[in-house]
Copies of this chain bind each other. A is one copy, B any other.
């Protein structure tokens, strides 16, 4: 086994451990699940967005997006209505209350990022972003 082989295995172990924890830690730190916040983030512009479009952007299952939006709607964070021109589709929009609350979440989110990247240099950040994007493409 070459040194690289064993480093590759280590990467998988690291990735496994990291992925097991990150969602949970994120929610602990910020008070909202990472997928939910991604959704709100997409809606941040204030425009109505199709549910199916949100689903593709967040890269999450149909069922999951339905459940998140239902919950966010119940909490008063978003509003939903059917597309009058095509009743299969649903439009989603941030509510006024959601618009207010998201500011706080965004700050928490930034704190979280700062925390997990605290010992990264300015030059390393874009390299990391590139690595992650490539891995994601390979999956």
Contacts and interface: CB of A to CB of B under 8 A. Distances in A.
A129 B19 CA distance: 14
A123 to B, nearest CB: 10
Interface string A101-139: 000000001101111111110101111110111111011
A7 interface: yes
A79 interface: no
Q: How large is the interface on A (under 10, 10 to 19, 20 to 34, 35 or more residues)?
A: 35 or more
A83 interface: no
A96 to B, nearest CB: 24
A109 to B, nearest CB: 7
A20 B132 CA distance: 13
Contact of A132 (B18, B23, B114, B126): B18
Interface string A58-96: 111000000000000000000000000000000000000
B115 A11 contact: no
A43 to B, nearest CB: 14
Which 5 A-B residue pairings sit nearest by Cβ, starting from the closest? Answer: A19-B19, A14-B132, A17-B59, A116-B138, A8-B113
Given A7-B125, A120-B131, 6 more contacts: A9-B109, A11-B132, A14-B136, A16-B22, A116-B138, A119-B134
